[in-house]
Amino acid sequence: MIFVRYESPVLNSRGGHTGIFGSANGLARSGTAKKPRITCWFKSSADHLLGRLPGYLALLDRHGVAWTEHTSSEPGHILYEDAVQVVVAPLD
């Protein structure tokens, strides 16, 4: 199984990379979004959700908010899993 994550390439104040929805929320709230150390990754099979991302990515692009896409077969220690995502803690 391959997992997919979109995130800021810049470390936040807590030493992590803010995810795509956190970045969009941060844009809406002018930088006041919380930035947790855990991260969420989509499963590559979540087509119905991944298909919605181009609109979010275009919004961030229009406002000059950087983002990156990552893929991994081992995104971290899995804390939660359902049919479309995993929530993980860093491996280190």
**Residue-wise pLDDT tens digits, 52-85:** 999 999 999 999 999 999 999 999 999 889 999 9
DSSP letter at 21?
H
For residue 86, count other CB atoms closer than 10 A to its CB: 20
Contact present, 50 and 5 (Cβ < 8 Å): no
Considering its fold, how many domains does the chain have in total? Answer: 1
* Interacting residues of 39 by C-beta distance below 8 A, sequence separation 6+: 5, 7, 16, 17, 19, 75, 76, 87, 88
Cα–Cα dist 71/75, whole Å: 8
The pLDDT tens digits for 10-20 are: 888 888 898 88
* Interacting residues of 23 by C-beta distance below 8 A, sequence separation 6+: 7, 8, 33, 60, 65, 67
Q: Full-prediction pTM beyond 0.75? A: no
- The residue-averaged pLDDT of 2-6 equals 89
pLDDT recorded at residue 33:
67
The parent domain of residue 64 ranges over 3-89
The pLDDT tens digits for 18-61 are: 888 888 777 766 545 644 577 889 999 999 999 999 999 999 99
